[in-house]
Amino acid sequence: MSGQAKPTENMLWGGRFTGGLDPLMVQYNESIHFDRALFAQDITGSIAFARANAKAGIITQDEFNKLEQGLLAVKKEWEDGTFKIVPGVDEDIHTANERRLGEIIGKDVAGKLHTGRSRNEQVATDMRMWLRDELRKIEKHLQDFLNVTAARAEQEIDVIMPGYTHLQRAQPVRWSHWMLSYGFAFASDLERLREVIKRVNRSALGCGALAGNPFGIDREMMSKELGFDGLLWNSMGAVADRDFVAETLQWGSMLMQHISRWSEDLIIYSTSEFGFVRLADAYSTGSSLMPQKKNPDSLELLRGKAGRAFGHMAGFMMTQKGIPSTYNKDLQESWEPMLDHVKTVSDSIQIANGVLATLSIQPEKMKESLDPFMLATDLADYLVRKGVPFRETHHISGRCVALSEQTGIPMDKLSYEQLKGIDARFEEDISKVFDYEKSVEMRSAKGGTSKACVQEQIQVLKSMIA
C-alpha cells in the first residue's frame, strides 16, 4: 500500500497494527451507522473532559478554547446535516468527531483532546447521557398517558360494564374501574422508570480504559457539568457496566407487556360481538377486500411490538452473560437494542395515549351485555347478611343459577316462590338484589368498584403521576 494511508492509520488504536483489515471486518467492526445518534452527547462530554484537563494543567487555556470552538463547529455540522462520514476511517462517533476536529483546528491541538481518556469510558458516558435524556422524555409521555386515563375515569365514572375472569362474564364493574386497573399498572411502571433513571444517571468519565486516570482529573467537576447525579465509583466496573441498558430493556419489556394486555382487552371490546368501544379512524385501517371492515391496527401493532421489546432484552442479556471483566467488544451489541427499544417504547406510549384519548365508548352496549347471572355472588351475599355461612350461601346461589338454566327464566325473573322453594331464608326483598348499580355500589371497601372507591383511586393515581 505504498503511497497510501493504511486502513488502520487514522484509527484511535492504529499505531500498534501494521497490516490492513479485511474490508468486511472494517464494516463488521464499525458502529458509526448507529452510534452517530449520540453525536451531541459525545461532543458535550469531550468539552467537559477538555475543560477538566485544562484545570489539571494538562492542556493550556488557549488549547482548551480551540478545542471547545472546534468541537462546537463539529456539532453544528451534525445539526445542519453537513457532516461527511469517511467510510473505513470513521469507525465510530468518537473517531469521526476527533478526525473532523483535527481538520478544523489542526491535529496538533486536536490530538490532545484524548489525553488520559479511553473510548471505554467515553462510550459509557455518552450512552448514559443519551439514555437519561430519552428516559426523561418517556417519563413525560407516560405521565401524559396516565393523565388521560385519570381524566376519562373521572368523566365516565357512571358507566357500568361486565367485568371478566377467564374471559367469561363475572361481576359488574365500572368502566372507569377497568381503566384504572391498567392505570395503576402503568403508574407502577412510572415509579420503576424513575428508579431506573437514577441508576442510569451516573458518570463513568475519568475512569480511563479500566484502571483510572493518571492526571488527577476532577471527575466530580465533569459529572456536575454533564448533569449526572454522581459517580460510578470503580473504574473497572464503570467501563464494563451495561446493566443500565439491561435494566432499561427489562423495564421497557414490563411496560410493553402491560400495553399489550391493555391492547388485547380493547381489541376484544372493539369487536362487533362486544361493541363496547370504537376506535377513531386515525388509529384504524380498512380491508383491501372487505369494505365493512374497521381493523384495530394500532392496538395490534402495540401488542406485536411487545414481542420486539422483549426480544431486545432477552438477546442483550444473553450477550452479557459470559463476558469477562472490564470492556469487551461484545458490549457494542448494547447499542442497537437500546436505540430501537427506546424508540419502540416511546412511540408505543404515544400511540396508546392517542388511542385512549380519541376512543369512543358505547355505554348502551355495555349495559346490554350485563347478565343477571353476574349477580349470583350478590345473591349469596344477601344470605350472608342473614347470618348464613358463605360456603352454604354459595351452594344455594348455585342452585338458583341451575333453576334459571333449567327453566329458561332469567335469574332476576324467578318468582319469590321459586326462590323460597330453594331456601326458606329468602325474603321478599330479595328482588332488590337484582340491580347492577347497587351491585357495584356494594363493593365499597378501598380498591373496589363503588363510585366513592373509584373516585379515591383516581386521586391516588394522580398523586402517583405527580
- Is the distance from CB of 160 to CB of 366 less than 8 angstroms? yes
Provide the 3-class DSSP secondary structure of residue 170: strand
C-alpha cell at 273: 360481538
Active-site residue, 253 included: no
CA angle 100–103–106, rounded 5-degree value: 125
Annotated catalytic residue, options 287, 325, 415, 444: 287
Active-site residue, 94 included: no
Query: How far apart are alpha carbons 311 and 308 in whole angstroms?
Result: 5
Provide the 3-class DSSP secondary structure of residue 301: helix
- With a CB cutoff of 8 Å and minimum separation 6, the contacts of 442 are 378, 381, 450
Provide the 3-class DSSP secondary structure of residue 4: coil
Tell me which DSSP letter residue 16 carries. Answer: G
- With a CB cutoff of 8 Å and minimum separation 6, the contacts of 360 are 277, 278, 280
What residue type is assigned to position 421 of the chain? G
- Tabulate helix, strand, coil % of the chain (nearest 5): 65, 5, 30
Q: Give whole-number Cα distances, 412 to 335, 397, 431, in Å.
A: 61, 12, 7
C-alpha cell at 424: 326458606
Pairing mode of beta strands 360-361, 277-278: antiparallel
Query: How far apart are alpha carbons 46 and 58 in whole angstroms?
Result: 15
- With a CB cutoff of 8 Å and minimum separation 6, the contacts of 9 are none
Query: How far apart are alpha carbons 180 and 296 in whole angstroms?
Result: 22
Annotated catalytic residue, options 94, 114, 166, 394: 166
Q: Give whole-number Cα distances, 107 to 43, 100, 174, in Å.
A: 17, 10, 69
Give DSSP secondary structure letters for 326-349: S--GGGGGGHHHHHHHHHHHHHHH
Residue 97 phi, psi (nearest 5): -65, -40
Q: Which residues are catalytic?
A: 166, 287
